[in-house]
A and B are shown apart, each in its own frame.
Chain A
Amino acid sequence: MIAYLTNCNSDFARALRERLLRGGHEVYAGEALSSLSSLDLFVATEDERLSGDDFTVREEIDPEIVMRSVEENLCAPILALEAALPALDKGTLKRVCFITSGAEASVNWSEKTSGYGYAMAKAALAQAARICCNRLYPEGYTFRMFDPLVGRVPPELAAAAAEEIFLCSRAYDPDNLRRTDEARFVLRDALGREWPW
């Protein structure tokens, strides 16, 4: 299987890369997508909590920090997916994975009062990914939204959970879409929990 990680900037991404390599997979990270003839697993590993993105609504807001977070956590993953499509089209698994955070990006569950740039970008990423999923799922693509629980679960354990979630297929019944769990767009974390949007 050929896997592509958009970058290995985080401990989690590095651990995932190591784990996939140990599993005998061909893994590329951050390299030019145009050089890949085919691709099975695409993982957008962007998960950037920027310095300075820590104000509350009562404090001075830096709009440019928010927009930088949007560029890095929202635009970059979606543009990378667009660039990866020609190679993914030729692969067999057609699995698309994004990294996010339940505690910070779930509108239902967030208890945060700061970190607007990260939270807004990741919430928007969920919706953009959902719409991409709606477009690509009928072509055989499947999507994963994953929270590595940064700071709470060791990167190696998070990578093990990610490998399981990224590579295993969920229930799939091509004759009865209502029984197909893959059609459901969900966010799971490194402890296997499903987060509401």
Chain B
Amino acid sequence: MKTVLITGADRGLGLALAREYLKLGYTVFAGRFLADYALLDDLAAENPGRLFPVPLDVSDPRSIDSAYAEVSRHADHLDVFVSDAAYMGGPENSRIRGEEKIDPALMCKSVRVNALGPLLCVHRFLPMLQAGEEKRLCFISSEVSSVALMLRDGDFRYCMSKTALNMAVRMMHNALFPAGFTFRLYQPGWMRRQMPDGSLYNRDDRQIDPGFSAARAMPVFTGRRADEGRLELVDYLGSVWPF
């Protein structure tokens, strides 16, 4: 039995990735965080015994412990970990010369959810991942994590938290690649937001569907490279971004 844990799978890319892994025959443990989204329940009903919604707040170690206990009830290993849960936050309080003062509590929240959360999850689930065959760790990052190519002049909170995530992934890679783990950092593109009824909110015509991004992610997440020792940030078009 191949198994995957996906955080932030209530909607959007996380939910679409759950669908993709189900198509490949995986048993999916889908992290649930949003109380007003029931899309995972529908997917679980369509896939009895193969998709398990698991309450999971990646910013709370006790929630991660509970999720570990829940996943352990159904499986003795995890082949793949996909970190998708993220806190976007609004643009307020996070720009120099903004109308409002910068809020350090919100800066901390972004780092806690987007960078520390994935690290805590990998640490907690490491025994199950160690027992898995694939040992593949995938992280949803962002184009705005790239310091080298950053062009924005405001709203730094989300961007800097994804840079912190890249750093955490680099350090996990340093520790775990020699032990047989392989890593993926994925830039999913600017996606339409999925609403509680499953519809997609189209804010801009340049946005892409989460399902499209998930389909483009799968060859990256499931494939093998000759140069697995190299950590790279790959986008949904296959381009490699500098850090």
Contacts and interface: CB of A to CB of B under 8 A. Distances in A.
B170 interface: yes
A119 B111 CA distance: 12
24 contacts: A57-B175, A63-B61, A67-B111, A67-B116, A74-B160, A82-B96, A105-B167, A107-B163, A107-B166, A107-B243, A113-B174, A116-B119, A119-B171, A120-B116, A120-B168, A128-B159, A131-B96, A131-B150, A135-B96, A135-B97, A196-B243, A197-B147, A197-B148, A197-B243
B164 interface: yes
Contacts of B168: 116, 119-120
Contacts of B126: 57-58
Interface in B182-237: none
Interface string A75-115: 10011011001000000000000000000011110111111
B39 interface: no
Interface in B153-187: 153-156, 159-164, 166-168, 170-172, 174-176
Given A75-B108, A127-B145, A113 B116 contact: no
Contact of A131 (B112, B152, B166, B175): B152
B171 A75 contact: no
A130 interface: yes
Contacts of B108: 67, 70-71, 75
B242 interface: yes
- Nearest 7 interchain pairs by C-beta: A123-B167, A197-B147, A124-B160, A135-B153, A75-B104, A127-B163, A107-B243
A108 to B, nearest CB: 5
Given A120-B111, A135-B153, A127 B122 contact: no
B104 A61 contact: no
B151 interface: yes
Contacts of B170: 107, 110
Contacts of B128: none
Contacts of B96: 78, 81-82, 85, 131-132, 135-136
B150 A130 contact: yes
A126 interface: yes
B102 interface: yes
Interface in B65-124: 95-97, 101-102, 104, 107-108, 111-112, 115-116, 119-120, 122-123
A114 B172 CA distance: 9
Chain B interface size range: 35 or more
Contacts of A81: 96
A71 B61 CA distance: 19
A44 to B, nearest CB: 13
A124 B111 contact: yes
B231 to A, nearest CB: 8
Contacts of A70: 107-108, 111, 164
B147 A130 contact: yes
A71 B102 CA distance: 13
Contacts of A106: 243
A123 B151 CA distance: 17
A63 B174 contact: no
Given A58-B126, A70-B111, A78-B107, 20 more contacts: A57-B122, A57-B175, A71-B104, A75-B108, A110-B174, A120-B115, A121-B164, A123-B167, A124-B160, A127-B145, A127-B162, A130-B147, A130-B150, A131-B150, A131-B152, A131-B155, A132-B156, A135-B153, A196-B148, A197-B243
A74 B174 contact: no
A79 B104 contact: yes
Contact of B172 (A57, A67, A128): A57
Interface in B27-73: 61
Contacts of A79: 102, 104
A77 to B, nearest CB: 11
Q: Which of B96, B107, B176 has most chain A Cβ within 10 Å?
A: B96
A158 B153 CA distance: 31
